[in-house]
Chain A
Amino acid sequence: MRLDPRLTQILAKTLLWALTGFTLLILLFIIVDISVKGLPQVTPLFLFQNPQDLGRAGGIFSTIIASAYITGLAILIASPLGVGTAIYLTEYTREGWATRIIRFGAECLAGVPSIILGLFGFVLFVMKLGLGWSVLSGGLTLAIMVLPIIIRTSEEAIKSVPRDYRTACYSLGMSQWQTITRIVLPSALPGITTGIMLSVGRSLGETAVTLFTVGAALRTPTTLFDSGRTMAVHFYILAREGISMPNAYGTAAILMISILLINLTAYTLMQRLMKRYS
């Protein structure tokens, strides 16, 4: 029995739209559940007080500092490496076996699961190099994790700077490096910043890596060699051990909303960038 194609279309479209709506509902549910149960916990006291009584009471200040410290370190290490790679790939070489190997390396790195990175960070930085569970170990490992993101977005940003800019600079007698630093990089800045913000979002939510490289000490890390507990790890421990559901929800709310805001900003930046060059 063959159905009228217009009928099949109505059925198909309804089904597909329903499934899309269902997906949006799932997303909405996640965000609403965490926000509704978590935001009431987020008071200035919660933000600026350290966890007390193993996290049953008090706030999450030390975890916020730890997250910021580790993420900041990761970005500081990965940005020059990533942007430098992107510059090299776009400006200094032609497509050849060298660029293909470098890109292959970056793509494979992007696919490495976080637990493997955690294993690697644990054996190299914590054990073999003797750094112990520390902000430094975590920052180095997370830098490797976000490197592919920065390389990919920076490369796209640099590539989208129009050729004319460069040719104009060369015709004016500027060297390649001058062109890059004074014209190309500043123009590509929104795209590079997008990549950095996406990396920040990714690092904040990462648990497996930090659990095995930074540890879970409740104190505020003050030096690079101190252990600490990121917000994601703190949430994991609170939730899994049932220490304090309200605090768990509060931590999750802050974590999730920070990441969503960062990603949203990155996305709008990217939109503006594409509008500028299209």
Chain B
Amino acid sequence: MMGRRGVLISSASTVLFIVLVGVVIALSPGASIVRERFFDWEHLKNSLLGSSTTPSVLEAFVLNIKIFTIAEAFILVIALGIALIRAVPGPVFFPLRMVAIVYTDIFRGIPLILVLYMIGFGVPGLGLQFLSSRSDVTYGIIALVLVYSAYVAEVYRAGIDSVHQSQIAAARSLGLSRWKAMRYVVLPQAVRRVIPPLLNDFIGLQKDTALVSVLGSVEAARAAQIYAAEQFNYASYVVAAVLFVLITIPLARFTDHLIVRDRNRRQAGATT
């Protein structure tokens, strides 16, 4: 814990650091150009709120949030399913495990942008009635879910593996079935342990929603690009960047909060 002195020193050094960075930027030869191209107040405002000829980055950003939220819900469930399939023991279930392994290997290996192209441009070409006439956003979400589920399944699996065998032995010795031991004893501990890497992946996912724009959807990054092309000014990129950062920070702090809360609840007043 930082004392008052610690807080004072850290604030002072932070201020000094920011001032130094500011001075270096202000004194650099291209300082005025940087200010004009990236931080011009009018451009910042216009790109954020939009104008008659350019889209609003803020409005477009709502689409990112929508994509992120829907994709995340699917990923959490599908990835858990894959991780559980990989944890099913016994030779009978080998084919099932094999499918899960092949799935994670493939979708962790292919760059997201290629999956986006294949789903977004390939599936409509298949001419399947149910699947082939969806919106770009839907294809984008499907691609994100396919790729991220593979990653998140591995995160879950690491969590499941990290729960000590003795916990399973204790649960089974009480007469709990394999599945109930997994559900009540292993999974709750596993999920708690993987919350930080899980949320880390979701921060990645939030950013990767920008890639859905390659299928034509106008989300924040695409809107910023349109603005820049129209106005020859990059303030729109700064606006989009700030928006992305603004939603990842609460997620990061929320992660920290969850970790601390869990630790406190279990250990408050512990005498070792």
- Co-complex (A, B): no
Q: Which residues of B contact A (CB under 8 A)?
A: none
Q: Which residues of A contact B (CB under 8 A)?
A: none
